[in-house]
Amino acid sequence: MYELPEFNIKKRERKPFKGWFLIGAFLLGVLGGASTSYVFYLKIKQEVADAGVPIIHSEKIIEKEYIPQTTQEQKIIDIVKENSPSVVSVVAYKDVPVYEQTFQQDFFFIIPKLEQKGTERQQVGAGTGFIVSSDGLILTNKHVVSDKEAEYVVIMTDNKEYNAKVLARDPVQDLAIMKIEGGNSFKPLKLGSVDDIQIGQTVIAIGNALGRFQNTVSVGVISGLGRTIVATGPDFATEKLEDIIQTDTAINRGNSGGPLINLKGEVVGINTAVSTEGENIGFAISIDKAKRSIEQVKTLGRISYPYMGVRYIILNKEISKARDIEVDYGALIVGDNEPAVVDGSPAQKAGIKEGDIILEINGEKITENNSLAKIISKYNPFESLNLKILRDGQEIYLNIILGEWEE
């Protein structure tokens, strides 16, 4: 409804009005428009009803019984119904300062001033997670629970809320493990393997889209495998993620940490990032990488990785040609304004020097698709490895005992 501004109105002598024809024309136009609009509304209403879409009438939803048109469609519906109860919304709360604006008189000026009036518990973030054990372990993204001062609550599909504690944040991957407090009987999702997926395969994403729309479902395909990306988190920190799954399934803000599920009902990835440079380009971390973190938390109570303590670049034909290097594979140890070999690290103790090229680890060749980090991630801290190194044109062999890298 529009409100007209007030005007000073002077009384006038009433005179016969001669504009009845105009009013009549106007009313006919209004009635005609209303009639047209009503017909248009009825047409849309009928089309929507025919399509099986719920129609909202004063908060009452009328749904037609839907019959799936294909076997695959029925399978997707069944998988969503089966797995949605195990997908949770992860909400971060924090006591934040509350300020009040006051004004201070300073001679001829009034100066505005902000004064803190205590703190208030507020929601500061939201994402998704999913249950991976019956005792309430939850897998999510590290950037969803990156604030170590925040308190976390998980919300189930039946709107039950539980406090949750972050048990471990993965120091290498964008993963974190949480534990529901106050519960002991939960249904975990089935974990699959990336070894069983192919490009073009149908997958389903479930998540807390935009931090508001719980258990939003989207369907797409696997668009690529073995991708390497550099992701930027909410704190603008960047992280390099390797061996990532690419999908055209819609992954919106708030979906982070949710499961990517195949048509067997198995989790094959953890939805992690989306490209801002294109449409329908999302990325998920392989569930195979997450399995290692889950098992470590169960057995050790933490997530740890082996490390060597070197900075390097992976050689290829272009880099080797530009640097006049005789081999086109391996890891060139180079610092680029930082120490190439970290002081006191396993690499320094093993005798690795800047300019060395590590060609193989335990006989496994280092390439662009099989990086140094990828190879050593297969081993445990304190294991001994044999390195084949090219130094000043000569091949040498060194043994290294891996260190432990914790959060």
DSSP string, 287-316: HHHHHHHHHHHHHHSS-EEEE--B-EEE--
pLDDT at 54: 35
Confidence grade of residue 358 (pLDDT, cut at 50, 70, 90): very high
Q: Which amino acid is at 9?
A: I
Whether residue 190 contacts residue 266, with contact meaning beta carbons closer than 8 Å, is answered with yes
CB 141 within 8 A of CB 254: no
**What DSSP designation does 25 have?**
H
Query: What are the tokens at 337?
Result: 């304004």
Q: Picking from 26-30, 126-130, 153-157, which range would have the lowest pLDDT averaged per residue?
A: 26-30
pLDDT of 85 reads 92
Q: How confident is the model at residue 197 (pLDDT cuts 50, 70, 90)?
A: confident
Closest CA to 129 of 272, 297, 281, 307: 272
| Rounded average pLDDT over 267-287 | 85
> Residue 233, Cβ neighbours under 10 Å: how many?
16
Answer whether 84-103+110-180 and 194-303 agree in fold. yes
Q: Tell me how far apart the alpha carbons of residues 302 and 308 are, in angstroms, rounded to a whole number.
A: 20
Which H/E stretch holds residue 277?
none
In the chain, pLDDT over 70 holds for what percent of residues? Answer: 79
Average pLDDT over residues 149-160: 90
Residue 202's pLDDT is 92
Q: Is the dihedral of CA 366, 367, 373, 378 positive or negative?
A: negative
**Tokens coding 206:** 């479930």
Tokens 């249950």 belong to residue: 131
Which DSSP string corresponds to 323-384?
Answer: HT-S-SSSEEE--SSS-SB-TTSHHHHHT--TT-EEEEETTEEPBTTB-HHHHHTTS-TT-E
Q: Which CATH number fits domain 305-406: 3.30.530.20, 3.40.50.300, 3.40.50.970, 2.30.42.10?
A: 2.30.42.10
Summary mean pLDDT of the chain: 79
pLDDT at position 57, please?
Answer: 29
From residue 190, alpha-carbon distances to 6, 80, 87 in Å are 67, 13, 12
Which sequence spans correspond to the domains of the chain? 84-103+110-180, 194-303, 305-406
pLDDT score of 14 more than 50: no
- Sorting pLDDT into bands at 50, 70 and 90, what band is 266? very high
Q: What is the mean pLDDT of residues 322-338?
A: 90
Residue 315 has, within 13 A of its CA and on its CB side, a CA count of 25
Does the structure show a pLDDT above 90 at 406?
no
Q: Return the pLDDT at 346.
A: 94
pLDDT tens figures, 167-186: 999 888 899 999 999 877 89
d(CA 260, CA 160) in angstroms, rounded, equals 23
Question: Residue 48: its pLDDT value, please?
Answer: 35
- In this structure, which amino acid lies at residue 312? Y
Instruction: Name which of 367, 402, 373 is nearest 385 in CA terms.
Output: 402
**pLDDT above 60 for 4:** no
Q: Are 262 and 201 in contact (CB under 8 A)?
A: yes
- Which of the residue ranges 7-16, 95-104, 295-304, 386-395 would you say has the lowest mean pLDDT? 7-16
Kindly tell me if the per-residue pLDDT of 393 is higher than 50: yes
From 56-60, 141-145, 316-320, the region with the lowest mean pLDDT: 56-60
- Burial class from Cβ neighbours inside 10 Å (0-12, 13-18, 19+) for residue 69 reads exposed
pLDDT above 90 (res 353):
yes
Q: Which residue has the higher pLDDT, 134 or 279?
A: 134
The amino acid at 72: Q
The confidence score (pLDDT) of residue 47 equals: 36
Second-level CATH architecture of 84-103+110-180: Beta Barrel (2.40)
Percent above pLDDT 90 for the chain:
42
| pLDDT value at 237 more than 80 | no
CB within 8 A of 328, min separation 6: which ones? 315, 316, 317, 319, 320, 321
Interval 164-169 mean pLDDT:
93
Average pLDDT of the residues in 225-249: 75
Check residue 36 and give its pLDDT.
38
The pTM of the full predicted model, rounded to 2 decimals, is 0.68
pLDDT for residue 230: 76
Does position 60 have pLDDT exceeding 60, yes or no? Answer: no
Q: Which residue has the higher pLDDT, 243 or 323?
A: 323
Summarised one tens digit per residue, pLDDT across range 38-48 is: 333 333 333 33
Of 26-35, 151-160, 280-289, 297-306, the poorest mean pLDDT is in 26-35
Q: Please determine, for residue 304, whether its predicted confidence score (pLDDT) is greater than 80.
A: yes
- Pick from 134, 162, 175: which is nearest to 257 by CA? 175
What one-character DSSP code corresponds to residue 171? S
CATH superfamily entry for domain 194-303: Trypsin-like serine proteases (2.40.10.10)
Taking the C-alpha atoms of residue 267 and residue 193, their distance in angstroms, rounded to an integer, is: 8
Nearest-CA neighbor of 381 among 316, 297, 308? Answer: 308
* Amino acid identity, position 34: A
Q: How many residues does the chain have?
A: 407
Catalytically annotated residues: 143, 174, 256
